[in-house]
Structure formats: structure tokens, C-alpha cells
């Protein structure tokens, strides 16, 4: 078990984790070059990723509530920014973003704009003030700001639904990876990563997450950017994919013209029209600013200033991946047009059969040259398959798989911990058993985590939708249910308990109802709005209901207004209103 000062331990963990991963990756690369079968190399990358994650959970196990919930109040801005970036660079970002751009052209940039813009909102509107508040969870803030458990309970409902949708997306990503590289059926593959997820979060809580995610941030970025550099070098001779992918787009356009299809590599498609593009960008921005498992990161910093700085560091690290995603999409499409399309079916390489078996690729047509209409690569497979499509050594594909798995495990752990803490801390301790001791509270948290993880894996095994769609539901639910209550709670003293609760109920209900109604085909999409952007209906309903109900009910007490003033000030003590829960 790792002991000692948190920052000293963080340094040791970083060296152990990154050094161990580098050594194991080097060994697997050497074995690959010596002729070890690709299947064994793929299994090695997946097994070592899960194994390292589980071992770090064992080393950082804790029974201290402060470490389990928020790792104390002593995570420096740089480390916290890296951990938050690792949480954001999830399977949706790693696997789905470039795939969305590959499939939808520049319309896929809605994800880049939305997620990046969301952290600007976090830095300006929420992070410093939630840190100044000083409690453990977002529902804690809602209960203190609006008084009583009604706001807390509704905040928990939103948190559970949004986080559950997000974690299903992460487990879906682990299923894709395990299915391809372990050769097991997808419905079984989604359960493969759960052992590593649960061992880390069950034993170490937030401390284990932060320790591992600091190193994982570096590993995920290397696993994403290095293959893009290799693809760029192979295609253009220049190892700067972010700057030269325009050349790849031009060459794809020429090949498309030759094959008789629209001659624009990343042109917008009819998959996302203007309304959906704007709506999705808005939902993702406000969703990032409302997602409880991300906001809880800023409770871990030692000061308000460090909370602000940690958002800046987060933006830097996610920029490195987000700026590479369009290049990844362009070079992947170039490789498809150069080395796959136009080839006879009998001449297609072995990876086509492997990805077809995993259910992520469909090839049709006769025995003649393969046409664009005959080749359908699932967008969620683009990043993972690109190294094989380009003919790069298989260990590059294994490295990408390991990075994608690390991204999925990292985010899944943070989400499961957020759900478990909401139930154990906000429901069990705050509402049902206020005298419960640390042992009972940790037992509840760990039990909830196991149950939710199993349920999420089962849902993911049914393939409810693509990764980005499922994750988009989570962001829409969070934005519709929490954004108004959080932002108005900090910036509008007139916001009342009745307004906040009504706003959360109305916005969340409208958003969830639209998702369920359209996904089950009970109704057709209204005005063409896809349910991934369901928050376009829930957010304005929530804001309007909060404002109107607040204006129609008595203003908050002077104590409450003093509390709001105190959390807006960078320095000084927080003046809790009468009856508010004290900091633990």
C-alpha cells in the first residue's frame, strides 16, 4: 500500500505506472517484431492495461472517507488538470470523435466545440465557487443552496441518469476493444474490463482514480497522437498531422472524384443539419458544465486559485487530442480510399475479416472491385482500425487499443464512483442514516458500485446506440437537469428552492421523455432534432421554469444571500445558512 505525502506518492505512482507501461509496451513490441502472432500481442496489450489499473487500485486502497470521496483537499492544479483530462478523454473522445468526423465530415466537429467550450463555462461560472463551497458532491451544494433534501434528491436523480448513460458508453467501448483483440463475442466482451474498473474504484476511491489518471492522461495522449504521427509521415513525409492533414483531404477528394462520389474528404453530410449541429454543441457545452463526476474534481484542489488553474491545465491536455481528431479522420479516410476501395474482395487483407467478425465492418458487392457503397466501417471502429488499414505494424494497433481501453476504464471508474458516492453520501448518510460510520458508508458505496457496473455492462451488451449517441444522452440529461440550478444558484440570489426543484424536474423530464419516445419510435423527431441533442428541449424548459417559479415564490432569506456572497469571494470563510450541512 502506498503511504506518505500525497504529492510524493503521486510522483512515485507516475513513475511506476508510466515506467511499467513503457517497459511492457516495449516488450510486446519486441515480441511482435520477433514474429509472435498478432493475436497474442493484442491480448497482451489488453491484459496489461486492465492489470496495471487493477494493481494501482490495490496499492492505493483506503478506508478513509476523505481519500475515498475527494482524496482530501490537496491535489495540485497540474495533477488535477491531468486527472480531469483523463476523465474527459473517454472512450467517446478517443474512439468516437474521429469516427464522427470520418462519417459526418466537419459536422462531427460539434463534439470538439462542445466539449472544449464546456470547460470554459466550468472555469468562469462554476469551478471556483463549488471549490469555495467546500463540500463533497454536487447534491451537497444543491441541498445547501436551496435548503432541505428536495433539491438534493432531484440532483441525485439527474446525476444517476446522466452518469449511467455515460458509463454505458464507456463499457460499450471496452466491449469493442475486447471483442476485436480477445476474439470473444461482444455481449461477453463488455464484461471483460469490469474487473480492472471495480478493483481500482472499489478499493481506492477518488485517491486511486487521481493517482492512476495522472499517468493515464499521458498514456492516452501518446496512444492517440503517435499513430496519427505515423499515418501523417507515411502519407506526406511530415510528422505533424495537425498541420498537414489538408493534403490528405485533397488526395481523398481526387480519389473520390475518380470513383464517382462527392469529391470532398470531410464535407458536411446530411447526418447533422444546422439545427442539430448547433443543438448538439450547446448540449455538450452545458453538459460538461453540469456533469457531476467532472465538477466533483474541483472539490479536490487545495484552493480556489488552484481550481481555476486546474481547468486551464485540463483544456491544454484535451486540446492535444481534440486537435488531432480531424487529422486522424482525414488520414484514415485516405488509407481506405488508397488501399481498400477499388480492390477485389478476394484481395482484401485479414483485418477486414477480423473487424467484420466483431460486427464493426460490413463488406458487400460481387467479386469485382470494391465500391464505396459496398464498404461500411462503423465510426466507432475508425480509430482502432486505422493502423491496420494503413498497414502499420500490429503493435501500433495494440498500442491504440491499450490507450482506448485506458480512456474507457478511467472514465468508467470516475462515473461509477460518482454514482456510488451519491447514493452512499447523499442518500444513505445525508438522508437515511446520518449517524452511519465510515465503514457502513464505504460498504454502501462499494455495493452500489458493483450493482451499477453489472447493470451498465448488461445495457451496453444490447448495443442501444453508438458510443457518442449514448454519451450524448448523458450530457443532455445533465444539462437539462442541473445547469440552471447550479448556475443560477451561484449567480442569481433570487433563485429559490421551489424554482430550482421545479426547473430540475421539468427540464430532466422533458429531455428523458424525448430520448425514450424517439428511441422507441413512439414519436418521430420533432423538427428533425435527433435525440442525442435532446437537451435542446430540456434546457430552456428548465431555465424558464426555474426563473418563473422563483419570481412567484418568496425570495431566499438574508442568511442564504450572505452564503451566496461568501462563495463568490475568492478568500474568506463560507457563511453557511441556518440548517445547512457542515463541512466534514
184: DSSP letter: -
Q: Report the pLDDT averaged over residues 207-212.
A: 66
Cα-flanking dihedrals φ and ψ of residue 29, to 5°?
A: -65, -45
Summary mean pLDDT of the chain? 80
Residue 526 within any structural domain of the chain: no
Say whether pLDDT at 269 is over 60: no
Average confidence (pLDDT) over 256-260: 73
pLDDT at 544: 96
Task: Please report, rounded to a whole number, the percentage of residues in the chain having pLDDT higher than 90.
Answer: 14
Give Cα 28 distance to the centre of its chain. Answer: 28
CA distances to 56, 170, 219, 411 from 18, rounded to whole Å, are 12, 22, 7, 18
Q: What's the pLDDT score for residue 252? A: 83
Q: Coil, strand, or helix at residue 438?
A: helix
Tell me which residue has cell 420533432. Answer: 526
Number of structural domains the chain divides into: 1
Residue 163 lies in a domain: yes
513 HSE (CA, 13 A, CB side): 10
- Sign of the Cα torsion 409, 413, 416, 419 reads negative
Q: Taking residues 58-74, what's their average pLDDT?
A: 55
- What sign results for the dihedral spanned by CA atoms 525, 530, 531, 535? negative
Task: Indicate if the pLDDT at residue 536 is higher than 90.
Answer: yes
Residue 372 DSSP label = G
In the block, cell 448556475 appears at 487
pLDDT of residue 96: 81
The CB-side HSE value for 472 (13 A sphere, CA atoms) comes to: 29
CATH label of the domain that carries residue 76: 1.20.1730.10
Q: What is the Cα–Cα distance from 349 to 344, expressed in whole angstroms? A: 11
Let me know how long the chain is.
584
Q: Is residue 490 part of a domain?
A: no
| Residue 503 and residue 484 in contact, taking contact as beta carbons nearer than 8 Å | yes
Angle formed by the axes of helices 138-146 and 484-491, to 10°?
50
Do 78 and 313 contact (CB within 8 A), yes or no? yes
In a domain, 551, yes or no: no
* pLDDT value at residue 366: 64
Residue 362's φ and ψ, nearest 5 degrees, are -125, 125
What's the mean pLDDT in 53-69?
59
Q: Are 19 and 165 spatial neighbours (Cβ–Cβ below 8 Å)? A: no
pTM: predicted TM-score of the whole model, two decimal places: 0.84
Q: Strands, E, within 331-418: which ranges?
A: 361-363, 375-377
Model confidence band, residue 498 (pLDDT cutoffs 50, 70, 90): very high
Q: What's the pLDDT band for 482 if we cut at 50, 70, 90? A: very high
pLDDT in tens, 286-345: 999 998 878 877 777 777 788 788 888 888 988 888 889 888 888 888 888 888 887 777
Domain that holds residue 338: 6-465
pLDDT over 80 at 528, yes or no: yes
Nearest to 381 by CA among 370, 371, 389, 373: 389
Q: pLDDT of 105-164, one tens digit each?
A: 777 788 888 888 888 898 888 888 887 777 667 888 888 888 878 888 898 899 889 988
Cβ–Cβ < 8 Å for 208, 68: no
Q: What is the pLDDT of residue 6?
A: 53
What tens digit of pLDDT does each residue of 414-469 get? Answer: 788 778 777 877 777 777 777 777 677 777 877 888 888 888 888 888 888 878 88
Q: What is the pLDDT of residue 9?
A: 62
Query: Could you tell me which residues come within 8 angstroms of residue 5 by beta carbon, excluding any fewer than 6 positions away?
Result: none
C-beta separation of 483 from 506 below 8 A: no
Distance CA 301, CA 308 (A): 9
The pLDDT of residue 90 is 79
582 within a domain of the structure (yes/no)? no
C-alpha cell at 93: 473522445
Task: Flag whether 504 is in a domain.
Answer: no
DSSP code per residue over 284-349: HHHHHTT-HHHHGGGGSSSSHHHHHHHHHHHHHHHHHHHTTHHHHHHHHHHHHHHHTTTSBGGG--
Torsion of CA 369, 371, 376, 377, to 10 degrees: 70
Locate all alpha helices (DSSP H) within 34-105, ordered by sequence. 38-59, 65-70, 77-88, 91, 97-104
Nearest CA among 204, 186, 187 for reference residue 196: 204
* 576, part of any domain: no
Residues 6+ apart with CB under 8 A from 558: none
Is there a contact between 554 and 116 (Cβ–Cβ < 8 Å)? no
Query: Given phi > 0 = left and psi -120 to 50 = alpha, else beta, which region is 299?
Result: alpha
C-alpha cell at 222: 501518446
Residue 111 inside a domain? The answer is: yes
| CB contact set of 458 (below 8 Å; sequence gap of 6+) | none
What are the respective helix, strand and coil percentages of the chain, to the nearest 5? 75, 0, 20
Residue 203's pLDDT is: 56
Confidence class for position 68, pLDDT limits 50, 70, 90: low
The rounded distance, in Å, linking the Cα atoms of 467 and 172 is 7
CA–CA separation, 489 and 137 (whole Å): 15
Amino acid at each position: 500500500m502506498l503511504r506518505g505525502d500525497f504529492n510524493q506518492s503521486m510522483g512515485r505512482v507516475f513513475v511506476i505506472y508510466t515506467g511499467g507501461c513503457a517497459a511492457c509496451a516495449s516488450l510486446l513490441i519486441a515480441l511482435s517484431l520477433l514474429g509472435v502472432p498478432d493475436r497474442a500481442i493484442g491480448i497482451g496489450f489488453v491484459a496489461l492495461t486492465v492489470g496495471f489499473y487493477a494493481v494501482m487500485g490495490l496499492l492505493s486502497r483506503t478506508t478513509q472517507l476523505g481519500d475515498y470521496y475527494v482524496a482530501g483537499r490537496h491535489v495540485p492544479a497540474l495533477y488535477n488538470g491531468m486527472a480531469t483530462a483523463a476523465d474527459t478523454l473517454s472512450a467517446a473522445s478517443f474512439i468516437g470523435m474521429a469516427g464522427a468526423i470520418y462519417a459526418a465530415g466537419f459536422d462531427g466537429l460539434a463534439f470538439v466545440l462542445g466539449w472544449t467550450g464546456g470547460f470554459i463555462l466550468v472555469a468562469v461560472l462554476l469551478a471556483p465557487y463549488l471549490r469555495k463551497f467546500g463540500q463533497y458532491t454536487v447534491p451537497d451544494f444543491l441541498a445547501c443552496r436551496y435548503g432541505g433534501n428536495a433539491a438534493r434528491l432531484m440532483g441525485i436523480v439527474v446525476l444517476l441518469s446522466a452518469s449511467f448513460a455515460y458509463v454505458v458508453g464507456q463499457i460499450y467501448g471496452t466491449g469493442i476493444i475486447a471483442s476485436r483483440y480477445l476474439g470473444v463475442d461482444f455481449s461477453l466482451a463488455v464484461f471483460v474490463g469490469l474487473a480492472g474498473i471495480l478493483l481500482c474504484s472499489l478499493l481506492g476511491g477518488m485517491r486511486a482514480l487521481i493517482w492512476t489518471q495522472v499517468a493515464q492522461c499521458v498514456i492516452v495522449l501518446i496512444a492517440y497522437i503517435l499513430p496519427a504521427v505515423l499515418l501523417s509521415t507515411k502519407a506526406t513525409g511530415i510528422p505533424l498531422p495537425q498541420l498537414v492533414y489538408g493534403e490528405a483531404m485533397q488526395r481523398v477528394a481526387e480519389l473520390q472524384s475518380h470513383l464517382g462520389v462527392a469529391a470532398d474528404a470531410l464535407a458536411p453530410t446530411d447526418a447533422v443539419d444546422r439545427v442539430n449541429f448547433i443543438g448538439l454543441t450547446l448540449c455538450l457545452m452545458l453538459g460538461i458544465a453540469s456533469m457531476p463526476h467532472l465538477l466533483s474534481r474541483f472539490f479536490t484542489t487545495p484552493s480556489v486559485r488552484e481550481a481555476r488553474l486546474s481547468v486551464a491545465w485540463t483544456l491544454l491536455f484535451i486540446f492535444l487530442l481534440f486537435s488531432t481528431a480531424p487529422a486522424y479522420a482525414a488520414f484514415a479516410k485516405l488509407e481506405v480510399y488508397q488501399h481498400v476501395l477499388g480492390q477485389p474482395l478476394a484481395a482484401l487483407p485479414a483485418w477486414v475479416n477480423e473487424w467484420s467478425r466483431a460486427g464493426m465492418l460490413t463488406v458487400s458487392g460481387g467479386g469485382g472491385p470494391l465500391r464505396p457503397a459496398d464498404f461500411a466501417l462503423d465510426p466507432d471502429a475508425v480509430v482502432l482500425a486505422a493502423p491496420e488499414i494503413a498497414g502499420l505494424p500490429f503493435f501500433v494497433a495494440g498500442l491504440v487499443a491499450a490507450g482506448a481501453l485506458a480512456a474507457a476504464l478511467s472514465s468508467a471508474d470516475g462515473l461509477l464512483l460518482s454514482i456510488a458516492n451519491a447514493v452512499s453520501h447523499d442518500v444513505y448518510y445525508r438522508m437515511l442514516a446520518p449517524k452511519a460510520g465510515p465503514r457502513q458508508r464505504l460498504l454502501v458505496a462499494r455495493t452500489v458500485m458493483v450493482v451499477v457496473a453489472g447493470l451498465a455492462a448488461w445495457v451496453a451488451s444490447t448495443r442501444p446506440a453508438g458510443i457518442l449517441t449514448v454519451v450524448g444522452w448523458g450530457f443532455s440529461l445533465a444539462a437539462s437537469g442541473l445547469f440552471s440550478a447550479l448556475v443560477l444558484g451561484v449567480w442569481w440570489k433570487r433563485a429559490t428552492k421551489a424554482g430550482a426543484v421545479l426547473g430540475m424536474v421539468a427540464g430532466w423530464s422533458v429531455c428523458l421523455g424525448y430520448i425514450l419516445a424517439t428511441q422507441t419510435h413512439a414519436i418521430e423527431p420533432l423538427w428533425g432534432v435527433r435525440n442525442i441533442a435532446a437537451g435542446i428541449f430540456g434546457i430552456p424548459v428548465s431555465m424558464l421554469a426555474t426563473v418563473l417559479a422563483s419570481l412567484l415564490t418568496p425570495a431566499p432569506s438574508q442568511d442564504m444571500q450572505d452564503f451566496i456572497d461568501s462563495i463568490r469571494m475568492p478568500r474568506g470563510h463560507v457563511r453557511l445558512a441556518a440548517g445547512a450541512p457542515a463541512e466534514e
